[in-house]
Structure 1
Amino acid sequence: MNAIYGLIWLAALFIWGDWRNYRKYYPTYLFFLLGDFLYLYLLSDKFAMWTYTPQGVDEGIGLTNTHIVLSIMAIKYPATILIFLGRYPEERSWIKQFIYILLWVGIYAVNEAVDLFVGLIRHDHGWSLGWSVLFNLVMFSILRLHYVRPFRAWIASLIFILIFWNIFDVPSSVFR
């Protein structure tokens, strides 16, 4: 299943990705990666909110949550950034921009709902698909903000992390 997802995201990347301007989006891609690496480092061992559970061939060849996360970072995230930012509506219409963000939240929600249905992901510590939808709404908004105003995105991310940290009562023992 992981390979199928990878192929779907690669196809989307080649069809809709803004390859000509990849250098413009690179800092936002790194920002995106850093957030996931931070989650992986701090929470995945001691207080995971979600964990990928390899199935079928993935399980048979010994893939782990970490392998799947790294493949997502290497394939899904570049595709997301090059398509999401490359096709973002530049008009001043905040309604079009909000609908566009909602479209991406929907894509990620459907992806996760399928994963939940077939057992490819497990939620823990109070996390749910509803929390993922909220998280993705904020995440896509912050990714766009990072593209146009990086410093503000860092501040917004820090605030968002602190809010979630408190809502889910993440223990200080996650710090290594």
Structure 2
Amino acid sequence: METALGEGGAAIFFVLVALIALTAVRLTRSYRRWERYLPTVLFMIFCSMLYYFLVRGRLLWEYTPATWVTHWGAELLLSFVVFPCTVLLLLDLLPRSGGKLRLARYLLNWSFVYLLTEQVALQMHFMRYHRGWSFGWSVFFVCTMFLILYLHHRCPLAAYLATVGLIVLYMVWFRIPFPIFLQAVE
């Protein structure tokens, strides 16, 4: 489907998102404390890559390919540029006081930014859903993602347990066979 940006619009969109993320990290100087946040950066990259291993071609969402960028190109740009920038910004700008309500508002603001970006990608046809995934599921996913990233920074074990629980929920709900059982099925 053709968009206002033309055939290469999806590539331009994802490169623009990456440039905005890199600029935000530069302006806030969050990169100076990268070592403090590296475990959570790696956790987010790992979870992104784990998604592709677990679904094995049964994608729940997909970035629309263009002539010079594929779904995988967009995903690699997001996983290795945008997501690390997100974690650096999220954790470095974390409110140090104000209690749980302020923290909840902060995480919801991050969720809003991600969901707004996704909504633009959907409206511009740079992204599509499969297998029953919907924007409602994205709202749930993104909100829990930011909560788990915060949790990983504070208590990694709790984040790992919550992540395993969510993975099982998604795989059962969307009827995605667990990879360990795929050889018997295929």
Same fold (TM over 0.5): yes
1:25 match: 37
1:13 match: 25
* Residue of 51, 56, 60 corresponding to 2:67: 60
The answer as to 2:53 corresponding to 1:41 is yes
Larger-Rg structure: 2
**Cα distance in 1 for residues equivalent to 2:182 and 2:100:** 39
**Cα distance in 2 for residues equivalent to 1:101 and 1:144:** 9
**Aligned-pair Cα RMSD in Å:** 1.6
Query: Contact 1:17 / 1:86 at 8 angstroms: preserved in 2?
Result: no
Q: Secondary structure at the match of 2:92?
A: coil
TM-score (norm 2): 0.86
**Cα distance in 2 for residues equivalent to 1:170 and 1:141:** 24
TM-fit CA distance, 1:87:
0.7
Ranges of 4+ aligned residues in structure 1 off by more than 3 Å: 172-176
**Cα distance in 2 for residues equivalent to 1:66 and 1:127:** 19
Q: 1:167 to 1:133 in 2, by over 3 A?
A: same
2:130 match: 124
1:162 match: 168
Q: Which runs of 5+ in 1 are unaligned?
A: none
Identity of matched residues, %: 31
Q: Which runs of 5+ in 2 are unaligned?
A: 1-11
TM-score (norm 1): 0.90
Query: Contact 2:54 / 2:178 at 8 angstroms: preserved in 1?
Result: no
TM-fit CA distance, 1:17:
4.8
**Cα distance in 2 for residues equivalent to 1:20 and 1:53:** 34
TM-fit CA distance, 1:175:
4.2
2:92 match: 86
